[in-house]
Amino acid sequence: MSIPRVLVSSFTFGEIDSSPVDLLKSYPAVYLPNPYKRKLTAEEMKELLPGVDGLIAGTEPLTGDVLAKATSLKVISRCGIGIDNIDLNAARELGIVVRHTVTGHPEAVAELILAGILDVLRSVSENDRLVRQGVWRQTFGLLLRGKTIGLIGLGRIGKVLTTLLQPFGTKLLAFDLQPDHQFAEAHGVTFTSLEDLLTRSDIVSLHIPYTPQSHFILNKERLTMMKEGAVLINCARGRLVDEKALYDLLKGGRLRGAFMDTFENEPYHGPLTELPNVVLTPHMGSATRESRLQMEIESVQNLLEEFDKIKARP
């Protein structure tokens, strides 16, 4: 393989620190940055991918149609953990290797989840808005101490969150298809069914990937199972939650509140923006300087590892 051409579609790549770009260029590789400085559309990806050997990807759609235009593409290195924007079957059929970053983001996401829990329990964002509107009125919130927290998914992020919650004296329930019993026993986590978790938890937090099987895992029926006055946290993937059903339960007062960092359609402009008891953020779970830099470096390392494997082929 001659000097590879690498498109970096992740539009904030290299902004925090130039070392990921420097590492890529030193391979050597031809660095092709995102020319639009925003999330790319499928049509734009079709225009940019021809002649590209490697792609450091963000969350843009990499459908079968898009990948079919990438006739030279050998490696997709996703800068992030989620790969639900990539048609993995099409990539496999086309012989495109797909990698993603697994270190770097768990601490950042777990800290944001904890911040969201405290925000909703104490109505921090809601009271901030009231003060700015000239309303000086204390709102009585709830303590985190002693609450029962249901973790849907006890992988990397769920485990970091578990350690962050230890000082608060919470009771931890978890639902996971591949339970780590050793970790759970060491940290006081009880595995249970999804339905039992929903009915017993004061706070429910999602930490699972999106797959066709997990689509709307929290549909209207399951959301209605949650305790009256419970809180929902979603910093995982938007399509895990039926947002319309959630809106109805929040507006009707059945649920105390929610913290949503991910949405079915992004950027989000839906009805949850109308509710004062919902905290909304723009899919910023991994958006700390430390985590982002580590993820960018790992994404370059993953890409170059695959290039080296290709070079080593007889």
Q: Which residue out of 43, 93, 266, 305 is catalytically annotated?
A: 266
Between CA 268 and CA 271, with CA 269 as vertex, the angle to 5 degrees is 115
- Amino acid type, 217: I
Query: How many angstroms separate the first and last alpha carbons of the chain?
Result: 12
* CA 311/CA 3 separation, integer angstroms: 11
Q: Which residue out of 222, 237, 256, 292 is catalytically annotated?
A: 237
Q: Is 181 a catalytic residue?
A: no
Q: Is 222 a catalytic residue?
A: no
DSSP 272-297: GGG-TTEEE--S-TT-SHHHHHHHHH
Report whether 308 contacts 53 (CB < 8 A).
no
Report whether 44 contacts 36 (CB < 8 A).
yes
Report whether 119 contacts 279 (CB < 8 A).
yes
The two three-digit tokens of residue 226, written as one number: 């949650």
Q: Which residue out of 78, 222, 239, 283 is catalytically annotated?
A: 283
From the list 220, 247, 218, 245, the residue with the least C-alpha distance to 234 is 218
Report whether 250 contacts 258 (CB < 8 A).
yes
Report whether 113 contacts 231 (CB < 8 A).
no
Q: Is 105 a catalytic residue?
A: no
Q: Catalytic residue positions?
A: 237, 266, 283
